[in-house]
Amino acid sequence: MTKSQAERSVVIVGAGFAGFNAARELSRLVGTSTEIVVINSADYFLYLPLMPQVAGGLVEPRHICVSLPRRLRQVRFVLGDVHHVDPVRKAVSWAGPEGASGTVSYDRLILTVGSVNKLLPIPGVADYAHGFRSIAEAIYLRDHITRQLELAAVATDGAERAARCTFVVVGAGYTGTEVAAQGELLTGRLARRMPGLAGQQIRWLLLDTSPRLLPGLDEHLSRTAERVLRWRGVEVRTGQSVAEATNGCIRLSTGENIATCSMIWCVGVRPDPLVDGLDLATNRGRLVVDEFMSVPGAPEIYACGDCAAVPDLTRRGQVCGMTAQHAQRQGKQVARTWPLLSEPGTRNRTSTMTRAS
């Protein structure tokens, strides 16, 4: 359907957990009078929680990628990155991966651009750390780990063998903890098939400045996860992190030097850079929204997921965490919410829905 044929149009920027679920729910709720446009940098929805299993060789990459055109058949899909939002003209400008560009107008805009890796200003990190945010990075990490063990198996220098068999994960949140857990299992399986590594110690270190791993979870769960990792042989180092990275070595904040060819960066995420250029209020880098996920001062714009500071109505004064569970619920709820706001007397009803979801 073209804009001229539709009475209204909704543009969704981003197709992560929030955007994908918003588009799917809107497709179910709205009729042919509304055009739904999804703009995303990839033509698939990526199931991020299973990325560590991809890096660990347990899950095939294609099994965590869901085709957007196939699953969202009532949606007009645009492959590209949005680089400008014009609230006055009610239009977004996008650029495609191979030079194409365009502008899409909207009656309602839902921003679900998600988050990107948080890169701290630590010397050498940008040059020597391996990111872990995309399917390409997960595949690369799996291949990199395999290659390091293969090279170690034929190395004649003991120091080189030890460095290639040492893997350092920085960040003990959800992603870092799972990467360390899956990585240790992967190297164990690979080493058993490589006679050249017989008797060689394979080290996995998990670092974080927090006093415990998985600080977002209950302390009991955190202690359980740490106990399992230590039982597997992972060295959990809390209260410390990387001070400097060089080629083949990292210096910890404690002053200790670790010889390694593998530093995996899982420190955390920050909202997508698009948020910085919107000239809208933010809370620690995330767009300020009300309980309806509407942006104050821009009634046609909604935001949810990692890029939005959505109020947590179960904890006064707090905002929802940047997790897939919150983003999925928010995506569904914003789809149910905004069509109702144009109906008289529905705002209170919508608030009740938000609290119950």
pLDDT band at 6 (very low <50, low <70, confident <90, very high): low
Q: Please, what is the average pLDDT of the chain?
A: 91
**What's residue 291's pLDDT?**
92
pLDDT band at 13 (very low <50, low <70, confident <90, very high): very high
Note the residue count of the chain: 357
C-alpha 52/C-alpha 206 separation (Å) is 14
255: left (phi over 0), alpha (psi -120 to 50) or beta: left
Chain centroid offset of residue 89 CA: 31
Average pLDDT score over residue span 285-303: 93
pLDDT digits (tens, 9 = 90+) for 56-108: 999 999 999 999 999 999 999 999 999 999 999 999 999 999 989 999 999 99
Given a cut of 90, is residue 319 above it in pLDDT? Answer: yes
Distance CA 295, CA 207 (A): 37
* pLDDT range class, residue 338, cuts 50, 70, 90: low
Specify the pTM. Answer: 0.88
Domain 8-117+270-356 and domain 125-267, same fold? Reply is yes
Which neighbouring-strand residues pair with 245? 250
Q: Where are the domains of the chain?
A: 8-117+270-356, 125-267
Q: Rg of the chain's alpha carbons, rounded to an integer?
A: 23
Separation of alpha carbons 296 and 302, rounded Å: 9
Cα dihedral value 356, 317, 21, 340, nearest 10: 60
Which CATH superfamily is 125-267 part of? Answer: FAD/NAD(P)-binding domain (3.50.50.60)
Tell whether domain 8-117+270-356 is in CATH 3.50.50.60. Answer: yes
Query: Which residues, including other chains, have CB under 8 Å from residue 102's CB and lie 6 or more apart?
Result: 78, 80, 93, 94
Predicted pLDDT of residue 355: 39
Q: Output DSSP code: residue 255.
A: S
pLDDT at residue 34, rounded to an integer: 87
pLDDT in tens, 185-200: 999 999 999 999 999 9
Q: How far apart are the first and last CA of the chain?
A: 31
Whether residue 124 has pLDDT greater than 90: yes
CA distances to 12, 31, 104, 155, 194 from 8, in Å: 13, 10, 13, 65, 61
